[in-house]
Amino acid sequence: MNWLRQRPVQLGVAAVLMVYLVFHLTRSTEVAALRISEQSYRPLLQISGEVVPARESQISAAQGGLITNIPVAEGQKVKQGDLLVNLDDASARLDMEQAKSDLQNARLSLAKAQTLSYQDARRDLVEDQQDLAAAEEALKRITALHEAGAASRQELEDAERQAAKVREKVAASKLLLESYTSGGSNLALLENQLHAKELVCEQNRLKLENCSLRAPFAGTVLEIQAEVGERITLGQQLVRLGAEEKLEVIINPDQQYKELIISGMKAEIWLPQTPDITCSGQVSRVEPAADPAQGTIGARILINNGDAALKPGSLVTVQLTAVHPVAGVILEEKWVTAVDGKTGVWVIEDNQAHFRNLTLGTRSSRGALVKQGLNKGDVVLQPGELVEGQRVKPKYSAGGDKS
């Protein structure tokens, strides 16, 4: 009979254990989290090289275009920064002005979203839509006149450019108004739009800058390999320039970096035994074809302010920084961990923690470049005592992206 009296107690204990297990198996642990987004960065390449006497350098085009001026002659001495070749920059200037206008609109939209009222935003949208209707009507009229031979190509392009500018303004005003109707969630979109316009503006600034090919160092023009009126392509050889008493570094990176290394690219150079003492340089020549036997490309870096310890024959370390920024995922080291000897991160999927392997690239002060394993929108968790399949709740830092 004792077992009959003990049975209710046993059932009670079992019920308590069941509740305890259900609670602990279903509750979510709050963990610091970060939503992945793409960032602008400049790729880096670190490689060994050998110092050699500088004799001559091949100056190549950083972009294609039509040559409008070559203000130097063969045998002429030039100073660093002197103009060697001019490309037609009319289109680049117009693109730069458009990029500046778009950037200003993005800045104004973000400022308005943070300060103006809903009524102000609605009024601005109505005014911008009226401006757009007028601009499109003007474009329609100019197009008809151009087809009839009564308006020039320049007038048509000006009308097209004005209509595009007003369309951009209307789009920004719509996004601003939506930021009120959606409780402010579009503020993040406005901030992302501003970042994108800043990147476009920088790209157009470089495009305009590349229309003027300048001497990277003082020397003598040995050969001019193009002529005024010629339409050139990216990487085409234009001027062969002989250096004065300076040194260069020869590098032979793997041919996979051929698209990264271009003339004019900045470089830092140091001796392995004294890494704290650096000097600057820039790529002065890139061989047009790779060495099929070695699978490498040849390049020369002109040393601008060489340390006295740098002598012909010295082995040095060279760090190259890409000319143009690109978009990619940069992750701080604090989010990266190792499980069973594999590098990766904890991510959240269906409210559960899962370990994902990563392939990392170049590291910098901002973090590591993620080459494979993460995509925009993924949510990573701060490493800790996490286990596979654990239920988690992301805790975003102040100002972090929760969308």
| Start-end of CATH 2.40.420.20 domains in the chain | 27-41+327-396
Cβ neighbours around 290 below 10 Å, total: 17
Give pLDDT, residue 225: 93
Cα-based torsion angle of the residue sequence 68, 69, 75, 81 in order, rounded to the nearest 10 degrees: -110
Sort strands 392-396 and 29-35 into parallel, antiparallel or unpaired: parallel
Phi and psi, residue 27, nearest 5°: -75, 150
* Percent of the chain topping pLDDT 70: 83
Q: What is the pTM of this model?
A: 0.37
Nearest to 164 by CA among 137, 136, 187: 136
Give pLDDT, residue 367: 79
- Which CATH code for domain 27-41+327-396? 2.40.420.20
pLDDT score of 348 more than 90: yes
Q: What is the pLDDT of residues 254-270, one digit of tens each?
A: 887 787 788 888 899 99
User: What is the C-alpha to C-alpha distance for residues 270 and 273, in angstroms, rounded to an integer?
Assistant: 8
Cβ neighbours around 257 below 10 Å, total: 17
Residue with more model confidence, 116 or 60? 60
Compute the Cα dihedral for 135, 138, 144, 145 and give only its sign: negative
Cα-based torsion angle of the residue sequence 61, 72, 91, 103 in order, rounded to the nearest 10 degrees: 80
Beta bridge partners of 212: 86
Nearest to 331 by CA among 352, 341, 345: 345
| Start-end of CATH 2.40.50.100 domains in the chain | 44-88+213-324
Nearest to 297 by CA among 263, 247, 270, 322: 263
Sort strands 315-321 and 326-328 into parallel, antiparallel or unpaired: unpaired
Q: What is the pLDDT of residues 210-256, one digit of tens each?
A: 899 999 888 778 889 999 999 999 889 999 887 766 788 999 998 87
pLDDT score of 42 more than 60: yes
| DSSP-derived secondary structure letter, 293 | T
| Least confident range of 20-29, 155-164, 300-309 | 20-29
Cβ neighbours around 375 below 10 Å, total: 10
Q: Is 115 helix (H, G, I), strand (E, B) or coil?
A: helix
At 178, list the tokens: 């939506």
Average pLDDT of span 158-166: 87
User: What is the C-alpha to C-alpha distance for residues 191 and 109, in angstroms, rounded to an integer?
Assistant: 9
Q: Is 59 within 8 Å of 263 (Cβ atoms)? A: yes
Q: Is 226 helix (H, G, I), strand (E, B) or coil?
A: coil
Confidence band of 51 (pLDDT split at 50, 70, 90): confident
44-88+213-324 belongs to which CATH class? mainly beta
Q: How many residues belong to the chain? A: 403
Q: Is 391 within 8 Å of 354 (Cβ atoms)? A: no
Give pLDDT, residue 363: 66
pLDDT score of 276 more than 70: yes
Give pLDDT, residue 122: 77
Give pLDDT, residue 20: 44
Nearest to 60 by CA among 254, 290, 286, 258: 286
User: What is the C-alpha to C-alpha distance for residues 75 and 66, in angstroms, rounded to an integer?
Assistant: 24
Range 103-115 burial, b when 16+ CB lie within 10 A, else e = bebbebbbebbee
pLDDT score of 23 more than 60: no
Nearest to 207 by CA among 324, 98, 59: 324
Confidence band of 352 (pLDDT split at 50, 70, 90): very high
Q: Is 389 exposed, middle or buried (0-12, 13-18, 19+ CB in 10 A)?
A: exposed
Angle at which helix 90-115 crosses helix 187-209, to 10 degrees, equals 160
